[in-house]
């Protein structure tokens, strides 16, 4: 039975990775950091799985990583943990550099100290391309990050490459373009939109504010993208791959699609723009070319854009309806006991 350590387990990608690995018969260890209010919305379903175990660890604490490796004895490590919100990286640039950048170095050093053969996946990002020098971006496209997050990811990316070349480690970097799902954090623009669309269609809200509506992203569906991460660790030789759909759409296009799912036309009535949500430096357009992944991994995106946007809206309608029911239920003495 293969064993895998997955960091960032309670996030979108870590949780899907755990599902995929368990389906493939792995023993899976999910690393989470200590929190005063733990959020296992994405992983609650794993708690009773006998092939799954949570471990405490933090990318800013070197010894905790070595401890996780010793307990899990992994064949594969998937590093999804990071301060992953680009907007927040201007508020906490130092912490973002520490966790998202140096955290990768700590994990690689922990693997070296652990001393056994381990295959390592690093979650690199299209944000490293930032101001696109070549459109669509490929593995050979020069990087030009536009945020403290992008700069930190670039460090994580190059240290992964460097340790592969320096120590002959099996390290790969997946350069993933935006991917979304029903498990996406509420602060990211797609989920913010789908949840607000659900609330508006149920009469729970009548407007919401966004920032820049003109930026364009190459959006795919997270479960498809996670398969690519697994495939990268199953090859004879380690390499880095761009994972993307090859189609860029604007925030306006996403609003059209999401409001269309609840048959509302003219979303402009419900959406305002607030300077608070603009960024000090924007990435105007991101689009990727995944030809290498198609050729070498046999990977390509499967789920069409409109299908997964509908899944997100339907999921948020379910959650918002639950909120509506809770609001309408009178609180009785028994409920409060």
**Contact positions vs ligand GDR (CB under 6 A):** 84, 86-87, 125-127, 177-178, 187-189, 192, 210-212, 215, 217, 251, 277, 279, 282
- Closest distance of CB 201 from ligand NDP, Å: 25
Options 24, 44, 60, 284; binder of ligand NDP; rule CB under 6 A: 60
Sign of CA dihedral 75, 220, 294, 126: negative
Options 28, 176, 198, 271; binder of ligand NDP; rule CB under 6 A: 176
Residue with tokens 């390499």: 239
Q: Is 99 in the site for ligand NDP (CB under 6 A)?
A: yes
Residue span 115-144 as binding mask against ligand NDP, x where in contact by CB under 6 A, dash where not:
--------x-x-------------------
3-state secondary structure of 195: helix
Residue span 1-30 as binding mask against ligand NDP, x where in contact by CB under 6 A, dash where not:
------xx-xxxxx----------------
Going through 8-75 in order, the beta strands assigned E by DSSP cover 27-32, 52-56
- Cα dihedral 259, 261, 264, 266 in deg (nearest 10): 40
Alpha carbons within 13 angstroms on the beta-carbon side of residue 164 total: 19
| Residue 187 interacts with which of ligand NDP, ligand GDR, none, CB < 5 to 8 Å by class | ligand GDR
Q: Which is nearer to ligand NDP, 243 or 257 (CB)?
A: 243
The candidate with the shortest Cα–Cα distance to 27, out of 81, 80, 73, 78, is: 73
| Residue 279 interacts with which of ligand NDP, ligand GDR, none, CB < 5 to 8 Å by class | ligand GDR
CA distance 231 to 226: 9
Among the listed ranges 135-143, 173-181, 234-242, 245-253, the one in contact with ligand NDP (CB under 6 A) is: 173-181
Task: From the candidates 127, 163, 221, 241, give the one annotated as an active-site residue.
Answer: 127
CA 83-85-90 angle, to 5 degrees, is 90
Q: Whole-angstrom distance between the N-terminal and C-terminal Cα of the chain? A: 46
CA distance 297 to 160: 20
Q: Is 82 in the site for ligand NDP (CB under 6 A)?
A: yes
CA distance 64 to 56: 7
Structural tokens at position 247? 């189609």
Options 119, 146, 179, 191; binder of ligand NDP; rule CB under 6 A: 179
Residue with tokens 């990071």: 82
Instruction: Please confirm whether the linkage preceding 136 is cis (ω < 30° from 0).
Output: yes
SS (H, E, C) 259-296: HHCCCCCCHHHCEEECHHHCCCCCCCECCECCHHHHHH
- Closest distance of CB 56 from ligand NDP, Å: 9
Q: Which is nearer to ligand GDR, 261 or 283 (CB)?
A: 283
Task: From the candidates 78, 121, 149, 221, give the one annotated as an active-site residue.
Answer: 149
Q: Is 125 a catalytic residue?
A: yes
The catalytic residues are 125, 127, 149
The residues of the shown chain that bind ligand NDP, judged by CB under 6 A, are 7-8, 10-14, 33, 35, 39, 58-60, 80-84, 99, 123, 125, 176, 178-179, 185
């Amino acid at each position: 039975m293969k064993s895998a350590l997955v960091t960032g387990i309670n996030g979108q990608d870590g949780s899907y990775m755990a599902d995929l690995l368990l389906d493939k018969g792995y023993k899976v260890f999910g690393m989470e950091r200590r929190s005063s209010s733990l959020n296992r919305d994405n992983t609650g379903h794993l708690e009773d799985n006998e092939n799954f175990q949570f471990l405490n660890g933090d990318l800013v604490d070197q010894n905790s990583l070595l401890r996780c490796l010793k307990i899990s004895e992994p064949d594969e490590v998937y590093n999804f943990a990071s301060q992953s919100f680009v907007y927040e990286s201007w508020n906490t640039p130092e912490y973002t550099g520490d966790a998202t950048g140096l955290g990768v170095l700590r994990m690689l050093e922990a693997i070296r100290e652990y001393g056994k053969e381990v295959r390592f996946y690093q979650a690199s990002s299209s944000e490293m391309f930032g101001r696109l020098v070549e459109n669509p971006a490929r593995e050979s496209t020069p990087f030009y990050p536009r945020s403290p997050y992008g700069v930190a990811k670039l460090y994580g990316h190059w240290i992964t490459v460097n340790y592969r070349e320096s120590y002959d480690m099996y390290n790969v970097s997946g350069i993933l373009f935006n991917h979304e799902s029903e498990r996406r954090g509420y602060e990211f623009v797609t989920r913010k939109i789908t949840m607000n669309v659900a609330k508006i269609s149920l009469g729970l809200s009548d407007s919401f504010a966004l920032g820049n509506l003109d930026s364009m992203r190459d959006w795919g569906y997270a479960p498809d993208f996670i398969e690519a991460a697994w495939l990268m660790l199953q090859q004879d030789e380690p390499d880095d791959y761009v994972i993307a759909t090859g189609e860029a759409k604007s925030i306006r296009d996403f609003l059209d699609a999401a409001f269309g799912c609840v048959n509302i036309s003219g979303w402009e009535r419900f959406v305002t723009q607030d300077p608070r949500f603009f960024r000090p430096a924007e990435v105007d357009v991101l689009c990727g070319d995944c030809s290498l992944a198609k050729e070498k991994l046999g990977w390509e995106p499967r789920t069409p854009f409109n299908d997964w946007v509908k899944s997100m809206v339907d999921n948020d309608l379910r959650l918002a309806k639950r909120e509506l029911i809770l609001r309408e239920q009178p609180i009785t003495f028994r409920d409060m006991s």
